[in-house]
A and B are shown apart, each in its own frame.
Chain A
Amino acid sequence: MTSQTQRRSSLRPLIMLAAGAALLGVAPTVQAQRDPAYQAAREAGQVGEQPDGYLGHVTPPTPEIRALVLDINIKRKDAYTRSAAANGSTVEQFAFTTGCNLIARTLPGEKYRSPDSRWLTRAAGLPERDSRCL
């Protein structure tokens, strides 16, 4: 009983150190920061990236997924609006440029929308993007 308590208390500084390192962002990974429900919806091909810089529904959404996509798109629009103002562009221009990047970095198996509005599955090769994308 006593030794167990001692062992636990000796572990505490280590745990706190690990937590501190995590907070400082010692090893941040892009995918790890996504909401698990969002990550799952991406992997299941329920949501995908659109050329306009926003998420879209590939399949008819459940109320949960609809709310999740709406929330992310509102946050994206907020971010695009601030970046556009800082860089002297329109919100649509900044969103479009980001959309080019977001489609480019989709992983094989994930969904994205082609310039002519078809939902495609990302393969190993380059995705179909607007001719203005870099």
Chain B
Amino acid sequence: MMRIKKEVQDPRWRQVAALGLMMAGLGGCVQIATPDKPIEINLNINIRQEVVFRLDGKAKELVEQNSEIF
């Protein structure tokens, strides 16, 4: 009993324990938590076909003029 207590109190053991905690801490720093939310599409937008009809030509123009993002 006495012997175990003495070992725990030994400053060298504390150093090893502290080093272990630091390593664990460093490991935690590298981790990057990336939220992986499900993708939701909301198609309940207020749009009637006549609006689509009116905007269609302009939409085609936009796609042609900005082809690098489409």
A35 interface residue (CB < 8 Å to B): yes
Q: How large is the interface on B (under 10, 10 to 19, 20 to 34, 35 or more residues)?
A: 20 to 34
Complex Cα distance, B67 from A75, in Å, reads 11
User: In the complex, are the beta carbons of A130 and B43 less than 8 A apart?
Assistant: yes
B46 interface residue (CB < 8 Å to A): yes
Q: Which of A71-103 contact B (CB under 8 A)?
A: 72, 75-76, 79-80, 83, 86-87, 89-90, 92-94, 96-98, 100-102
Mostly helix, strand, loop or mixed at chain B's interface?
helix
A11 interface residue (CB < 8 Å to B): no
Complex Cα distance, B60 from A87, in Å, reads 13
Inter-chain CB contacts under 8 Å: number? 92
User: Known: A33-B67, A102-B70. Is A92-B62 also a contact (CB below 8 A)?
Assistant: no
A113 interface residue (CB < 8 Å to B): yes
- Cβ proximity bits B37-70 to A, threshold 8 Å, 1 near / 0 not: 0010111011111011111101110111011111
Q: List 13 A-B contacts (CB under 8 A).
A: A51-B41, A52-B45, A79-B69, A90-B46, A92-B45, A93-B51, A97-B56, A97-B59, A98-B63, A113-B41, A132-B47, A134-B52, A134-B56
- A residues near B, CB below 8 A? 28, 30, 33-35, 50-52, 56-57, 60, 63, 66, 72, 75-76, 79-80, 83, 86-87, 89-90, 92-94, 96-98, 100-102, 105, 113, 115, 117, 130, 132-134
